[in-house]
Amino acid sequence: MSKHPIHPNWERAPVGVTEGYSLEITAKDIDSLRDAAPLIAADTPVAVTFLPGEEQAARVAAAVAVRALGFEPMPHFSARRISSSDEFEDYLQAVVRNAGVQRCFLVAGDPPEPEGPYFDSSALIESGAFERAGIKAIGIGGHPEGHPVMSKEQCWEVIDKKIAAIESRGMAPLIVTQFGFDPDIVLAWLEELRSRGVEAPVRIGIPGPAGIKRLLRYAKYCGVGASASVLAKYGISLTRLMGSAGPDKLVDRFSAELGSEHGRVRLHFYPFGGIDKTVEWIADYNRRHDI
């Protein structure tokens, strides 16, 4: 597919590294998103996570609010947390009907065993529900640092399988990576991805500015590499954990080194320190770099 519906200008290189970025929120973040909205470009993709313990109605309301603010909602579907096919299709139909959803992001989910009939995100794709609902694009996870229960080669095989399944059903694939602190790992992963013939657009996960201890807690929870040498690349010293840190060094590296050989790439921000802090950081970065 030569045209990708995730972003209207995806086919051309961005003017600056932060152009066309996306955000990730929870259902509880809508008030914060509303407050930050004046600093966010229209049609910005906003992913709505699928957290345990949330009511489906809250997720639907969040997607509706994202659309009402002029952004593109991209709800998550956590396969192993879905208890039945009725729950899955009810949620999908609700976000399509009420929020005009055209793109979704799929994960297997944290539980080792499924709570219902879906073991992984491939099972959701193969259900046929997304194309029946009129979904145009499906996001899948990318793991530059590897996966806790799969070998490196298995990770590549899964990406190939999912992309083929998505495209065979008339939808466009998108890869969104976990956040990380090491640009070298991400750049090498992108080069290998493209060398394997995968042309799908990629959104690189970027941790928004936050307290250092908070960033390290999220890194531990998500299995993200946070050794002293890796954190030094990001601008964090393990001997000084007070205060906050932003992704300046990380984004600078991507700005300097991302090229045509890396294919279509945008940034995806995880606003660990708050949506307002993240979008203010992006706006300030753009001012400082004339973006």
List the domains of the chain with CATH numbers: 22-210+249-288 (3.20.20.220)
What's the number of CA atoms in the CB half-sphere (13 Å) around residue 149?
7
What mean pLDDT comes out for the span 245-270? 94
Query: Percent of the chain scored above 90 by pLDDT?
Result: 74
Distance CA 19, CA 162 (A): 27
Query: Are 37 and 68 a contacting pair, CB within 8 Å?
Result: no
Position 215 scores a pLDDT of 86
Neighbours of 289 (CB within 10 A): 13
Report residue 285's pLDDT band, with 50, 70 and 90 as the boundaries: very high
Helix (H, G, I), strand (E, B) or coil at 71: coil
Position 221 scores a pLDDT of 76
Distance CA 187, CA 184 (A): 5
What's the number of CA atoms in the CB half-sphere (13 Å) around residue 289?
17
Confidence check: pLDDT of 230 > 80: no
* H or E element at residue 105: strand 103-107
What mean pLDDT comes out for the span 243-250? 85
Confidence check: pLDDT of 1 > 50: no
Cα separation of the two ends of the chain: 29
How does pLDDT run across 53-93, given as a tens digit for each residue?
A: 899 999 999 999 999 999 999 999 999 999 999 999 999 99
Helix (H, G, I), strand (E, B) or coil at 265: strand
Report residue 114's pLDDT band, with 50, 70 and 90 as the boundaries: very high
Position 205 scores a pLDDT of 95
For the CA atoms of 202, 6, 178, 175, the dihedral, rounded to the nearest 10 degrees, stands at -50
Position 3 scores a pLDDT of 44
Distance CA 10, CA 174 (A): 11
Confidence check: pLDDT of 10 > 70: no
Q: What are phi and psi of 186, to 5 degrees?
A: -65, -45
DSSP state of 208: P
Distance CA 84, CA 187 (A): 39
Q: Which residues of 143-176 are buried (b: 16+ CB within 10 A; e: fewer)?
A: bbbeeeeeeeeebeebbeebbebbeeeebbbbbb
- Per the structure block, which two tokens stand in for 252? 């600078």
Paired with 138 in beta bridges are: 104, 173
Helix (H, G, I), strand (E, B) or coil at 275: helix
What mean pLDDT comes out for the span 229-238? 71
Distance CA 207, CA 261 (A): 24
Entry pTM:
0.92
Report residue 11's pLDDT band, with 50, 70 and 90 as the boundaries: low
- Measured at the alpha carbon of residue 230, what is the angle toward residues 224 and 236, in degrees to the nearest 5? 100
Mean pLDDT of the chain: 91
Residues 6+ apart with CB under 8 A from 251: 17, 18, 206, 267, 285
- Give just the sign of the alpha carbon dihedral 259, 260, 263, 266: positive
Q: Could you tell me how many residues make up the chain? A: 291
Position 219 scores a pLDDT of 81
